Structures are given as structure tokens and as C-alpha cells.
Amino acid sequence: MASAWIAMLAMLLLAFVNGTKHEVEWSPCAEVHSTSTVVVLGSPVTASCLIRDDCPLVKGQAAPNVVWKLDQRSLTEDNESEGSTAASASEGGWNSTVFIPSFTKTRGVLTCSVLHASQCQIVGGVDIRAGSPPDVPQGLRCLTNLTKPETLLCQWDQGPDTHLPTNYSLHTEIRDLSENNTYMLPPDIHHFKIPRAGFVLFSNIEIYVKAVNALGQATSKHLLLEPMSSAKFDPPKVLKFQAEPNRFGCLKLSWSLSEQQKWVVTKVNLEVQLKTANSRSEEPVPVPRVVRQKPLDLCNLLHGTEYSVKIRVSYKQSQWSEWSNNKTGVTLERAPNGQLDSWLKVSGEKRQKLLSVDLFWKVSKQFRPNGKNLSYIVSVRKPPGEKLCITRERHCAFRLPQGVWKVFLSARNAAGTSQPTEIPVFKQRALPAVSDIDVIPYGERSLLVQWTRIDSSSITGYVVEWRPLWEMNASFILFDNIDRNQSNIIISEIIEPYKPYEISVYPRYKDGIGFSQSISAYSRQKAPSIAPNLRVWETGPFGIELTWEEIPLLQRNGIVQSYRIFYWNEQGNIKVVDAAVEKRSVILDGLKPSSNYKAFIMVSTGGGSLNGSEVTLKTESLDPLAIILIVISSGVGLPLFIIISVLVCCSKRLKICFWPKIPDPANSSIKKWTASDSVQDIPLANDTQEPSLIYLSHLSLLDPPQKSLEKRGGGISDDPWFRSSDTSDLGESICGSPHIFNPGYTGLFEDSVPYATVVFDSPYSSQPPSQSHAYLRSESTQPLLEEEPEELSSPKEYQNIPVHREQVFFRECLDDGLDDGLDNGKNHGLVVDMSFNRIPVECTQKQRNVGKLGRAEYQVGHCFLNKLQGFDVTQPEPHRE
Amino acid sequence: MNTLFALAIVVNMARVGYSAPLMEYSGETGQLVEDPEFHIFVENSQNLIKKVLEAIPGTHKSCIHSETLILNSTTENRKLQYMATNLGIPSAPTLKALAEDFTLETCLRHMSEGLQLHQDLLKAVQPRLANTENLTALMTDIRDLGIQINKMLRAVQAEVTLQPTVTSLASRLTGDYQVQVAAHLTLVQLQSFGQDIVRSLRNIALVNGDRDDSGL
């Protein structure tokens, strides 16, 4: 090995000496040539290596051993796919060639080496680059910049990589100038700014790009444009935006182009964006115009409204500039116009002199406030009239005298008052409610309210009213008036997820408002925010009663569907008990005395559940004394009780002794019907069950007052008792009674007064004619009570005042019309309103209505007799809702 | 000779920046051009002359450093009449109301010649001035305006023969002061001539149906 190195060094030294000697004649040992140093990627490459005979590396060899390499990889005959070599003797030396069928590298060095003394020496090489000819430049576009220095910026897409240096040149031709320009660009730059002298603003210029590399060239499509039409202007300026005197609905817009573009005095495209302060739209509708730089009027605007304006410009087909600055202006005010949608609710007793009225309103689609500071006036007469209220709210509560049938609502601003909207005042009427009200969440902030339409020609529409349940203020109540043919509506105003709302539907009739149906609803539910805390109410040895508070309304996040108590003993035996939602208490029974338990509550809504905190419970221990007492009492007391009972039953004497017979006025027949009718109503006040109604058709005094007859000289036609026709057909029960002309009848000062009534088991009007009715009669020695009609509450009026008239008639609850009353009583299980000998009879009516989502409203119908002397009538208790 | 020189000064005084405003053109005696593109050329010219007029003060400020050479000073400029004659700055062609003896073609030709004149004068002083960026832009705008005027000339079927103005200005710019005065006087004269062009173009626009005031 060492000898080989020495030999090589010697030869190099010899060569150096020879070289020094013949410096001019020096030539390389070998020369490498290829067909091309830049080739198309993937194309074949052929290279040759000519090794001179006098090359010291091959001296003495019969045939030099030549090795070709592409970068570090050898190209041998064994691997023909990469390249093949061949060697032959040629004049003056040896020629070795290599053929690479596909040159796949973008750049590679091909070297020729000679194997000498087991060492490979490179004698020559060639650098080969491969790539592709340039693609046609695409996407040539130019944009004129009119800001100094003015330029015409042209750019084009980069295109695919050619792997070779590619030079672009931009060519322009201006025919009006007969001038051509070529701008050479540095390699791989794809844009160029043509200077101002290189283009004429209002003359067409033809532009194209040429791409050139070692493998070829390509020219883009020619672009013909007028530089001014390709200019993107600077954002214009809004100078003024204000109303002119007496120009209603108009605002004058003064504007200009930017300082450097003010010279454009001809028409430009102007786009105006107007937006009101209340506009919800993000993208206001543009108003395109072609104008010069002069003030222009923008008209057909809303009165008294603040507008925000911004503009942008373009020239012919050029790009739009950026938007200008914003400027606001307010149009001149005018009196409001258009109708207001309203919803008027009357509450309070009709007998009261003043009605309580809640009036809500909202602007209709046609309403135009035409001003900023809007207030509303409610008046009894058209303004100017007596004002019930002046408010900026959209709600007003006031008291209205009986006999007022309409009120007027008008809007007012600084410029004037609108035409009043006439609102009829419908007194409360017993008209049917809608049925099957249902509320379905409709997105996160909307509710779909549905109901079944009322099939009646007197229906004019519906009112859907909704309010947040956690707000007691009436100003939060919203409403919508619905057409009679519609049976659903999507409400979204103020609706938020996880919050409760009450939705009511009222039918509107021609002559009044019907009963409402209400329902509570959430647009979206989730688990409650808090769980109730369990509290021990009562503890025993075998059970524990737990109670808990209701979750605050805003923390429920949904309708509570269940309370579930999980409890377990020390051994971990878990038991579960469900509690009724409305009770909020539960008894854990079957527990062991003196044992520890743990429990927690799980509260569930329609949107999820939440577990409460764990509580530890302990049952009481059994008391030995209590056990003994229980055993003794059950062992001794029970037999003793049985013996006494048997003795009492067997012995009449004992029975008389203990229970002597005492006359019981309560067992009179009149008491029976009183008890069966009026008292029967009383439990309804305390009971939430559907009332079982008994229909009282008539109450008669069977013996008319003789004195009264005598005083009238026997003229019975003047006495209300004999005006049987006034009481409709029911009067027959009076006229037909044999006691009517009983001479023994002396009115209130007589000892005994007979009473009778007819009791039906169904509404009067629905009874078949042949049905026999219960006819009860009774007598009482007690004088009839009388009282003055006006002063019902004065106790003095009950005493010793002669009866002026006795009359029985029937009326509808809370209604003046006799006929309507009977009819409506039939429809609603309504019991009659009675007036009996000026004895007031109170009658209220409600209807049961159960909401679907768990909220219940009870409206129960019943009547109460009150202050009816001689009857044991119980004062009614208020309803529970 | 002296009499002639004095006369030349008087004539120059009437032309260089102090030409009386043209009467408002009625347009009744103008010529109607049927070429539909003609009114576009008029509009383009209106834009460009406005651009030129707006550029003159800035150009003057960037090129003229002498405090006595004030663009809109009538008093000072009167003192330069002799220099104007001495430097050989020709006066601009006359522009006046269109009339039978001053046709649209004549008007357009005068505009074209005047623009060419000022273009050549500025070209003569440009190599001797510093900060010529604005001046170059102004010359480009004048070139563009000239193209539009020549298009109008072609539209009225007149032959356009553009010939460089024969001026000896370049040879008379012996010192910096002369260069400054020459540039100043050229800009002053161009401003006056430009205002005449504005009026002429408004007249031509009126004649050709564009009643909308350009706002110039």
C-alpha cells in the first residue's frame, strides 16, 4: 500500500516537473462532455470521458478501468436502469461513454474516474441541471395606483417550479404613443410596477409577460386595459351629512375624493351605505350612483331618524375603493304616523265603579316614530282629551269608569302627535278559551306556540301574551295579535335559554275577550344550578321525614320533573325513593332504629339532573317504657272497648241515656237541600277536584205575603211574585203552586214561611222535557231576612224592614244579559246567579285549566248563597290557585 | 430694433400669465361632433387639465428655490417680461370662444400646439433642475392631455401634425438663475394656458350635449 502511494506521488511529481517544463502544452488528463448540461427532467443524458494516452494514471495499462458516478452513486453495467457505460479505444486515448436513460435529479454532477492501484481517481466531471421549460404565465393583472408616485402594478401567478432560473420580462405597447417598452425583471420575480411615464392614463395599454429559462420561453395572454379604469381609488371623504331646512326625508351628502385624486372631475361610480342606528342588518343595502364630486341629496329616508353613511368609489369597471369614514346625520322630525298594535286587558269586578285596565302596545310594521323622543298618550277621547296616562313605556295601567267603551292611544314626538289608535274596551266576558295550547322550543331563543283554533264565526283573532316569570313588572309583558285562521306563532322577543316564561293565549271575539289558557315554558333546559338542601323534618325509630325548599326560579333552568332521594345505611345498601314534585317532602321508612344513614337528593329537569350534598341521618332508638305502654294499651284497652260497644248496642236504655232524642232543626227538608246544594259548593273551594255541579233552577216562596196582597188591593199583577212571565217559563213553578194565594201568608211577620225548590241534575236547558225533577218543600218559622239593596254590608238593614217584593230570577254570573247567562251557564257548568228577595247572592266563576308543563291553574265554578236568613249557609272561602 | 423689442415686451405682457379671461362660451356657434367617443375625450381632457393645474403649484415649489419667483404674484411676474423675451420663451397659442373664425378644429389645434410648446420648454429646463420628480409627472400629464386633444382633432377629421417646437431656450440657459426663471415663466404661462383650456373644454362639452357642469 505504501509502495503504491510512493509510486503515485512519484508520477505526480514527474508530471509536475514535465508540466513546469512544458507549461504551455499542459492539458488535462481527461475531458468529460455531455450532450447538454441543462436537460428536461426525466430525459436521457449521454456523457463521454476521453482519457489521454499520456495520462499518468493509465500509463502502462492495456485498458483503463473507468468508473462513472452521478454525485455519489456509481453507474455500473450491473445497474442499467440508472446508467450504462461503454469504453473503446480512440485516437490518442481511451473513450468511455455513459448513458443515463432518465435524468431524474434536478441537479447532479457526473464524474469520470480511473481506477489506479486500487484507488479511484476523478479525472473529470460535468454539472448537469434538469428542469422544465417555463409555463405560460397565468393570472396577469394590473392595478393603477393614483397616489403619488403613480404606478401601474402588474403581477401574475408564480406557476409551477421549473427547477431552473426563470427570468420574466414585462412588455407594454401604447398605441397612442407608438411606444413599446420592455421591463426586465430579476429571476423569479412575479410583479412589476410600471412607472408613470410608462403608461398613459386614458389610453389603452397592451401588456404581456414573457418567461424565459434555459429550456425555453412562454408568453402570457395579452392584457389590454386603460390604466384609469384599472385604478383603485383612495377612500373618499364624507365632508358633511346633514338635513337641509324643509327637506323632509332627505339628507345632503357632501363628499370628495382624496386630495391626490380630486382632479377626477368627471363621473365616478359612488356606492352609498346607509344605516340607521336601529338597523340590525350588518350589511346595509348599498345605493349605487354615478356622480360627480358634488353634494347630493339622499331622499326617501325615515323622518327624525339618525343615519350613518359611508361611501366608496370606483371609475368605470375599476375596483371599488375602501369605504370612507362614517358620518351621521338626522333627518327632520315629523309627527309620528301609523297604527299601534295594542292589547287591552280589563280586570276587577264589573260591579265596581272603576275598572282596572292594563294596556300594552307596540309599533306595527306601518308605524313610523318620525322622531327621537317618543312618548305615548292614552286618553278617553281623541286628543286633546282627558289623558289617562302619558308615558315613554309601552305599557300603561289605569282605572276606567264603567260605560267607557273605547280609549285612544297616540304617539307624540317633538314635531307633533300621531292620529290616535282607537282601542275598544271589552269587559270581561265568559267566552270560551282555546284548547290544547302547547309550546315547543324553537331554537335556543324562540318558542313555537300552538293551539287548537276555535271554530266560531264570532272569533276575530287571538292574542298571544308572554312574560318572563321572574319579572313581576307588567312592562315586561309582550304580546302579538294573531289572525283568526292562524293557530301557531313563533315568539322570540326577550326569550332566553334556561329561563321560564309564561305564555297565554286569549281568543278575541267580536264582543269580547275569551278566557285565557296559560302555560309555562323554557326555550332550552339544563340541569338546575343548585340542588335543594335536605332537612330532617321528623325522626322516628323506623323512619325519617325529609323536606326541602323549592329551588329559586332563576336557578331551576328548567321544569322540575322529579326529586329522587338516594339513601343508604352503613353497610352501603342503597335505596331510592321518588318524591312528588309538588310535595317537596318524603318519608324514608323501613329504617332500623339507632342506625346511621346517608342521603342526598337528585333534582331533575327536562335538561339534566343535579345531585345535592350528602346529609347524615340517624334514626331514634326504641324507648322501653313506650314499648310497655303500647303493649298494655293494646292488651287491655282493646277488649274493654269491644265490651262497651256490645253493651251499648244491646241496651236501649243506655242508648237513650247517652244519646237523648233532641229535635234537630237541621234535619228539616230545607236544610237538606241547603246542605246538598250550597254547602256542597264549599268543598270546591278547598278541593282541587273537578266540581260536581248541581243545577238549581228555581227557588220559590210558596206562600206569598198576604199583607202585601191586601195592600195592593188584591191586584196581584203589580206584585213581582205574580210576574211569573218575567222569570221565563220557570215562573210556572210559582204560578202553579197552590200556596201562592194562601190567605194565611203574612210575609215576614208570620210564623212560618214555606219554601220550595226544584233541583236538576243537569243544566236546565239541556234537560229533556219529560224528566221529573226533585221538588223539595220545607217550612221555617224563622222570619225572612230583608235588606236594602244599596247598602249590602250594613247590618241595620237586615232588621224589621217589611218585604217590598219577593222575586226569584236567574242571571248569568258576572253578566247582564239574561239569555246569554243561561246559555253560557250551560257551556261552562256555570251555576246560576240568584237574587232572592233582595238578598245578595255572590257568585264567582272560574275554570280549571291545567298547563301541560306542570303548571296548573284552577278555575272552578260555584255559587254561594249569602245572608239568606233561615238557612245555614256557609261563607265561601277564597279559591286556591 | 428697439421699437420692435419694446413691442415684443408688450405683446409678451399680454400673454405670459396675464391674458384676460376668455368670455364665457355660449356654445351656440360651436361645432357638433358625431363621434360617440368624442365626449369621452373631452371628459378625459377635463380630468387631465385639472390634474395639470393642480400639479403646477407643487411642481413650482419643488423646482424653484428663488424666493422672488412666486407663482401667483402678478407684480413680481411683470418684472420678468424682459427675461422672458431674452430667454426666447414663446408665448402660448391663443384660445378663445368658438366662433366662425375660431372653429373647433382651430381651438383644438391651438391646444395641442400649446401643450407641445410647454412640454418642450419643460424638457429644456428639466436637465438643469434638481428634484424633477414632480416635473416629470407634470410632463407626463401634459403628454397624456396632448394625446386626448389629438384624439379629438382626429375625431373632427383634422390631420395631426406634431412638430417639435423650435426653441432656443436650452442654449440660452447660461446660469442657474436663467434656468430658474425659465422654469418659473414656463409654469406661470402653462397655468394661464391651462385655465384657457378648461374654458375651451367646457365650451366644447356644452356644444356636444353634456350640460352637466364638470365642476371645474
Domain membership of residue A643 (yes or no) is no
Distance, in Å, from the CA atom of A326 to the CA atom of A238, rounded to the nearest integer, reads 7
Cell of B56: 403646477
Using the beta-carbon criterion (under 8 Å), do A150 and B137 form an inter-chain contact? yes
| Average pLDDT of the segment spanning A755-763 | 45
Q: What is the pLDDT of residue B193?
A: 96
Domain membership of residue A392 (yes or no) is yes
Same domain, A123 and A150: no
Domain membership of residue A73 (yes or no) is yes
Q: What is the pLDDT of residue A688?
A: 36
pLDDT of A328 strictly over 80: yes
| Average pLDDT of the segment spanning A105-132 | 87
| Average pLDDT of the segment spanning B105-123 | 93
Domain membership of residue A818 (yes or no) is yes
Mean pLDDT lowest among A15-24, A361-370, B128-137: A15-24
Confidence bin at B181 (pLDDT 50/70/90): very high
Residues A815-854 as b or e (16 or more Cβ within 10 Å = b): beeeebbbbbbeebbbbbbbebbbbbbbbbbbbebebebe
Burial class from Cβ neighbours inside 10 Å (0-12, 13-18, 19+) for residue A113 reads buried
Q: Which domain holds residue A80?
A: 2-131
pLDDT of A453 strictly over 70: yes
A10 in contact with chain B, both atoms CB, cutoff 8 A? no
Asked if B33 and B209 count as a contact pair (C-beta separation under 8 A), the reply is no
Quick: pLDDT tens for A731-757.
333 333 334 334 433 333 334 444 444
A294 in contact with chain B, both atoms CB, cutoff 8 A? yes
Nearest Cα neighbor of A345 from A251, A408, A424 is A424
CA distance B49 to chain A (A): 8
Same domain, A795 and A813: yes
Mean pLDDT lowest among A300-314, A737-751, B79-93: A737-751
Q: What is the pLDDT of residue A169?
A: 94
Q: What is the pLDDT of residue A715?
A: 39
- Nearest neighbour of B148 by CB, restricted to A177, A202, A262: A202
Q: Give just the sign of the alpha carbon dihedral B8, B9, B12, B18.
A: negative
Orientation of helix B133-155 relative to helix B38-63, angle to 10°:
160
Same domain, A247 and A226: no
Q: What is the 3-state secondary structure (H, E, C) of A175-216?
A: HHHCEEEEEECCCCCCEEEEEHHHCCCCCCEEEEEEEEECCE
Q: Give the β-pairing of A296-298 and A286-291.
A: unpaired
State the DSSP string of A464-500: EEEEETT---GGG-EEEEEETT--EEEE-TT--TT--
Using the beta-carbon criterion (under 8 Å), do B44 and A202 form an inter-chain contact? yes
Instruction: Find the residue in A nearest to B48 (Cα).
Output: A263
Instruction: Find the residue in B nearest to A292 (Cα).
Output: B214
pLDDT of A566 strictly over 90: yes
Q: What percent of chain A has pLDDT over 90?
A: 35
Distance, in Å, from the CA atom of A402 to the CA atom of B125, rounded to the nearest integer, reads 100
CA distance A490 to chain B (A): 54
pLDDT of B114 strictly over 90: yes
Q: What is the pLDDT of residue A697?
A: 42
Question: How many CA atoms lie within 13 Å of A211's alpha carbon, on the beta-carbon side?
Answer: 27
- Chain A residue numbers with beta carbons less than 8 Å from the beta carbon of B143 are 177, 200
| Average pLDDT of the segment spanning A603-609 | 93
- Chain A residue numbers with beta carbons less than 8 Å from the beta carbon of B141 are 201
| Average pLDDT of the segment spanning A257-277 | 88
Q: Give just the sign of the alpha carbon dihedral A678, A682, A688, A689.
A: negative
Residue matched to cell numbers 314534585: A581
Tell me the CA distances in angstroms from A154 to A147, A227, A316, A597, B51, one per residue in order: 16, 11, 19, 85, 24
pLDDT of A47 strictly over 50: yes
Quick: pLDDT tens for A191-249.
999 999 999 999 999 999 999 999 999 999 999 999 999 999 999 999 999 999 989 99
Same domain, A224 and A249: no
Cell of A512: 269580547
Using the beta-carbon criterion (under 8 Å), do A264 and B133 form an inter-chain contact? no
Asked if A440 and A423 count as a contact pair (C-beta separation under 8 A), the reply is no
Residues B68-80 as b or e (16 or more Cβ within 10 Å = b): ebebeeeeebeeb
Distance, in Å, from the CA atom of A844 to the CA atom of A861, rounded to the nearest integer, reads 7
3-state secondary structure of A578: strand
Q: The domain that contains A291 carries what CATH number?
A: 2.60.40.10
Task: Calculate the CA A857 to chain-centre distance.
Answer: 26
Give bridge partners of residue A422 from the DSSP assignment: A408
Orientation of helix B133-155 relative to helix B104-125, angle to 10°:
160
Cell of B79: 418684472
Same domain, A223 and A173: yes
B151 in contact with chain A, both atoms CB, cutoff 8 A? yes
Q: What is the pLDDT of residue A765?
A: 42
Quick: pLDDT tens for A60-83.
777 778 888 888 888 766 565 666
Q: What is the pLDDT of residue A94?
A: 82
Q: How many domains are contained in chain A?
A: 7
| Residue type at position A873 | V
Confidence bin at A665 (pLDDT 50/70/90): low
Cell of A18: 514535465
- Chain B residue numbers with beta carbons less than 8 Å from the beta carbon of A177 are 143, 147
Same domain, A9 and A65: yes
Distance, in Å, from the CA atom of A535 to the CA atom of A537, rounded to the nearest integer, reads 6
| Average pLDDT of the segment spanning B50-61 | 95
For chain A, the first-to-last Cα distance in angstroms comes to 117
Q: Give the β-pairing of A93-100 and A45-52.
A: antiparallel
Domain membership of residue A425 (yes or no) is no
Asked if A816 and A843 count as a contact pair (C-beta separation under 8 A), the reply is no
Cell of A841: 247572592
Residue matched to cell numbers 298547563: A851
Mean pLDDT lowest among A642-646, A701-705, A792-796: A792-796
Confidence bin at A53 (pLDDT 50/70/90): confident
Domain membership of residue A379 (yes or no) is yes
Q: What's this model's pTM, rounded to 2 decimal places?
A: 0.59
Distance, in Å, from the CA atom of A289 to the CA atom of A299, rounded to the nearest integer, reads 13
- Chain B residue numbers with beta carbons less than 8 Å from the beta carbon of A202 are 44, 47-48, 144, 147-148
Same domain, A748 and A811: yes
3-state secondary structure of B143: helix
Q: What is the pLDDT of residue B206?
A: 84
Burial class from Cβ neighbours inside 10 Å (0-12, 13-18, 19+) for residue A22 reads exposed
Same domain, A115 and A249: no
Tell me the CA distances in angstroms from A702 to A740, A756, A779, A786, one per residue in order: 6, 6, 10, 17
CA distance B122 to chain A (A): 15
Nearest Cα neighbor of A811 from A798, A803, A822 is A822
Q: What is the pLDDT of residue A657?
A: 59
pLDDT of A251 strictly over 70: yes
Same domain, A214 and A271: no
Q: What is the pLDDT of residue A838?
A: 37
Domain residue ranges in chain B:
2-207
Q: What is the pLDDT of residue A789?
A: 40
Cell of B104: 373647433
Same domain, A242 and A193: no
Contacts of residue A828, defined as CB under 8 A and 6 or more positions apart, other chains included, come to A430, A845, A847, A861
Cell of A319: 375596483
Quick: pLDDT tens for B2-49.
444 444 444 444 444 444 444 444 444 446 667 778 889 999 999 999
Using the beta-carbon criterion (under 8 Å), do A263 and B50 form an inter-chain contact? yes
Cell of A507: 281568543
Same domain, A877 and A780: yes
Same domain, A816 and A670: yes
| Average pLDDT of the segment spanning A764-775 | 44
Residues in chain A: 881
Residue matched to cell numbers 430525459: A43
Q: What is the pLDDT of residue A228?
A: 93
| Average pLDDT of the segment spanning A376-405 | 86
Q: What is the mean pLDDT of chain A?
A: 74
3-state secondary structure of A641: helix
Mean pLDDT lowest among A84-93, A300-309, A529-538, B128-137: A84-93
pLDDT of A552 strictly over 70: yes
Phi/psi for A371 (5° steps) reads: -170, 175
Cell of A126: 460535468
pLDDT of A335 strictly over 80: yes
More confident position, A547 or A820:
A547
Confidence bin at A842 (pLDDT 50/70/90): very low
Distance, in Å, from the CA atom of A699 to the CA atom of A754, rounded to the nearest integer, reads 11
| Average pLDDT of the segment spanning A612-635 | 83
More confident position, B193 or A278:
B193
A176 in contact with chain B, both atoms CB, cutoff 8 A? yes
pLDDT of A597 strictly over 90: yes
3-state secondary structure of B180: helix
Distance, in Å, from the CA atom of A255 to the CA atom of A237, rounded to the nearest integer, reads 6
| Residue type at position A420 | P
Nearest Cα neighbor of A238 from A227, A252, A218 is A252
CA distance B213 to chain A (A): 9
Q: What percent of chain B has pLDDT over 90?
A: 44
Distance, in Å, from the CA atom of A594 to the CA atom of A619, rounded to the nearest integer, reads 5
Distance, in Å, from the CA atom of A832 to the CA atom of A760, rounded to the nearest integer, reads 12
| Average pLDDT of the segment spanning A708-712 | 41
Orientation of helix B104-125 relative to helix B176-207, angle to 10°:
160
pLDDT of A616 strictly over 70: yes
Give bridge partners of residue A448 from the DSSP assignment: A440, A490
Contacts of residue A314, defined as CB under 8 A and 6 or more positions apart, other chains included, come to A233, A268, A269, A271, A320, A321
Residues 121-140 of B with CB under 8 A from A: 133, 136-137, 140
Q: What is the pLDDT of residue A609?
A: 94
Nearest Cα neighbor of A492 from A481, A478, A505, A508 is A478
More confident position, A172 or A742:
A172
- Nearest neighbour of A292 by CB, restricted to B44, B143, B215: B215
- Chain B residue numbers with beta carbons less than 8 Å from the beta carbon of A290 are none
Nearest Cα neighbor of A696 from A711, A707, A680 is A680
pLDDT of A691 strictly over 80: no
Orientation of helix B176-207 relative to helix B133-155, angle to 10°:
30
Confidence bin at B106 (pLDDT 50/70/90): very high
Best residue in B37, B38, B48, B115 for a mutation probing chain A (most A CBs within 10 Å): B48
CA distance A289 to chain B (A): 15
Distance, in Å, from the CA atom of A630 to the CA atom of A637, rounded to the nearest integer, reads 10
Domain membership of residue A724 (yes or no) is yes
pLDDT of B98 strictly over 80: yes
Cell of A3: 509502495
Asked if B199 and B95 count as a contact pair (C-beta separation under 8 A), the reply is yes
Domain membership of residue A106 (yes or no) is yes
Cell of A654: 243506655
More confident position, A15 or A220:
A220
Distance, in Å, from the CA atom of A698 to the CA atom of A735, rounded to the nearest integer, reads 13
Final residue in a domain of this structure, among A131, A159, A192: A131
Contacts of residue A704, defined as CB under 8 A and 6 or more positions apart, other chains included, come to A719, A721, A722, A739, A740, A741, A742, A745, A806
Cell of A402: 264603567
Asked if A262 and A286 count as a contact pair (C-beta separation under 8 A), the reply is no
Q: What is the pLDDT of residue A796?
A: 37
pLDDT of A681 strictly over 90: no
| Average pLDDT of the segment spanning A100-112 | 89
**Fold topology of B2-207:** Growth Hormone; Chain: A; (1.20.1250)
Residues 61-80 of B with CB under 8 A from A: none
Distance, in Å, from the CA atom of A879 to the CA atom of A602, rounded to the nearest integer, reads 33
| Residue type at position A202 | F
CA distance B12 to chain A (A): 30
Mean pLDDT lowest among A693-707, B43-57, B147-161: A693-707
pLDDT of A725 strictly over 50: no
